């Protein structure tokens, strides 16, 4: 079955595209909406109502802190899980393990963890992190080794290349243990994923490229005697008809000022991230029409013109978007981390459109406890014919 997550834009939202990430400051191509706790709570409640399993919250200088924001939003919601992104360089593994255990207890088991090895060098240095890329991946592996063992109730001493702890132990371990999500396209990232993570995340590349990544990680994990689940991070533009969806993509493209594209691409061209360069190669800096940026059936690279990280969107009718999700699912993708601008309204388009279509195909069920799940199992209302006795 498919698991669907939504996204919390803790850098702000807009009816136009919002750029940022990978060392770039957040900037909106339309009238911005502040990332207030009230607005984010509206998005969280919408995602919860519609049956999404969880919501990803990003990390970096361009957005609000994910741990603090989601801890506050947990009190504004009842069931939604939070996929909290954070970087190992900013926290000791013992403290991170303790934070995760505390979050899990106070939220009622609603924590999912997205470990991000690091952003761009300039941003890392601003946080006091001066390790190079390979050293950061080494640290991530050692960090996750310590966290995993602490969550298993062990006392841990490690004198690693980058991580050093002595006699570390948690007073209370999390129950359940939060699953670890992680992504990366470099060889070192593959090593970390194979040894330590539960879900390997890829950005929305064309299916043939995603298939190559899945084969790569599966092989590495098998060599470690492990199995890994797979997820994909995608934006979505879905409407009742294909023409209406592509018209919306065209409107988003027209709303982006040329100088915004130039500034963002100049910054992203310096990225050390293999995944980021793979994203940039899909759009090659711009296009005249939205259709020019369709890099695979219904896969649009326009978001990557102004945004670091996930830069592609599924565009089409509800049935077409569902078809593409099934295509990725057939490759081995079981978790979809989705988003759309603006995130409040688009949650309903996605939840009531392609997810509902996947439900009719028997591939998706709203998360247990959601209003969508209750509606699915409720008996049909009895509506008498006009003029009949009651």
pLDDT tens series, the chain, 390 aa: 999 999 999 999 999 998 877 767 788 887 899 999 999 999 999 999 999 999 999 998 889 999 999 999 999 999 999 999 999 988 999 999 999 999 999 999 999 999 999 767 778 888 888 899 899 999 999 999 999 999 999 999 999 999 999 999 999 999 999 999 999 999 999 999 999 999 999 999 999 999 999 999 999 999 999 999 999 999 999 999 999 999 999 999 888 888 887 777 676 666 666 666 665 666 666 666 888 889 999 999 989 888 877 889 999 999 999 999 999 999 999 999 999 999 999 999 999 999 999 999 999 999 988 888 887 766 554 444 444 343
Within-domain flag for 390:
no
Could you tell me which of 313, 235, 308 has the C-alpha nearest to residue 278? 308
Helix axes 66-74, 37-50, angle to 10 degrees: 60
First-to-final CA distance of the chain: 42
Q: Write the pLDDT tens digit of every residue in 95-134.
A: 999 999 999 999 999 999 999 997 677 788 888 888 998 9
Cβ atoms of 229 and 269 closer than 8 Å: no
Q: pTM of the entire structure?
A: 0.92
Nearest alpha-carbon partner for 245 in 94, 346, 160? 346
Residue 321 inside a domain? The answer is: yes
Kindly state whether residue 23 falls inside one of the protein's structural domains: yes
Residue 389 included in any domain: no
Q: Which CATH number fits the domain that encloses residue 159?
A: 3.20.20.30
Euclidean distance between CA atoms 184 and 150, whole angstroms:
24
Question: What whole-number distance in Å separates Cα of residue 187 and Cα of residue 17?
Answer: 32
**Domain count within the chain:** 1
Sign of CA dihedral 351, 300, 265, 271: positive
Q: In this structure, are residues 141 and 180 in contact, taking their beta carbons and an 8 Å threshold?
A: no
Q: What is the pLDDT of residues 300-346, one digit of tens each?
A: 998 988 887 788 999 999 999 999 999 999 999 999 999 999 999 99
Residue 383: inside a domain, yes or no?
Answer: no
What pLDDT score does 30 carry? 79
Q: For residue 78, give its domain range.
A: 5-371
């Amino acid at each position: 079955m498919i698991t669907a997550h939504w996204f919390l834009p803790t850098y702000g939202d807009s009816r136009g595209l919002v750029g940022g990430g990978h060392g770039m400051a957040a900037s909106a191509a339309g009238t911005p909406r502040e990332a207030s706790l009230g607005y984010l709570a509206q998005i969280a409640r919408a995602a919860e109502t519609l049956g999404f399993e969880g919501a990803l919250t990003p990390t970096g200088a361009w957005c609000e802190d994910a741990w603090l924001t989601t801890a506050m939003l947990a009190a504004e919601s009842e069931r939604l899980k939070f996929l909290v992104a954070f970087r190992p360089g900013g926290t000791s593994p013992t403290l991170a393990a303790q934070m995760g255990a505390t979050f899990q207890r106070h939220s009622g088991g609603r924590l999912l963890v997205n470990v991000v090895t690091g952003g761009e060098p300039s941003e890392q240095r601003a946080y006091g992190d001066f390790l190079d890329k390979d050293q950061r991946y080494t640290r991530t592996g050692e960090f996750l080794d310590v966290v995993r063992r602490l969550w298993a109730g062990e006392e841990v001493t490690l004198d690693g290349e980058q991580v050093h702890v002595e006699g570390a132990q948690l007073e209370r371990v999390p129950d359940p243990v939060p699953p670890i999500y992680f992504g990366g396209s470099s060889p070192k990232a593959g090593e970390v994923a194979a040894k330590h993570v539960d879900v390997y995340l890829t950005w929305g590349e064309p299916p043939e490229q995603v298939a190559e990544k899945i084969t790569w990680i599966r092989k590495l994990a098998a060599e470690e005697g492990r199995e890994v689940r797979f997820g994909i991070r995608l934006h979505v533009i879905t409407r009742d008809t294909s023409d209406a969806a592509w018209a919306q993509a065209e409107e988003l493209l027209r709303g982006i000022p040329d100088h915004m594209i130039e500034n963002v691409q100049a910054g992203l061209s310096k990225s050390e991230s293999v995944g980021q360069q793979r994203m940039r190669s899909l759009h090659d800096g711009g296009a005249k029409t939205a259709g020019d940026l369709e890099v695979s059936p219904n896969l649009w690279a326009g978001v990557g013109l102004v945004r670091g990280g996930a830069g592609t969107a599924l565009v089409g009718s509800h049935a077409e978007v569902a078809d593409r999700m099934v295509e990725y699912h057939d490759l081995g993708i079981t978790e979809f981390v989705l988003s759309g601008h603006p995130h409040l309204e688009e949650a309903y388009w996605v939840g009531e459109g392609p997810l509902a279509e996947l439900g009719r195909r028997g591939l998706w069920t709203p998360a247990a406890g959601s209003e969508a799940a209750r509606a699915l199992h409720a008996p049909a209302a009895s509506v008498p014919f006009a003029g009949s006795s009651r």
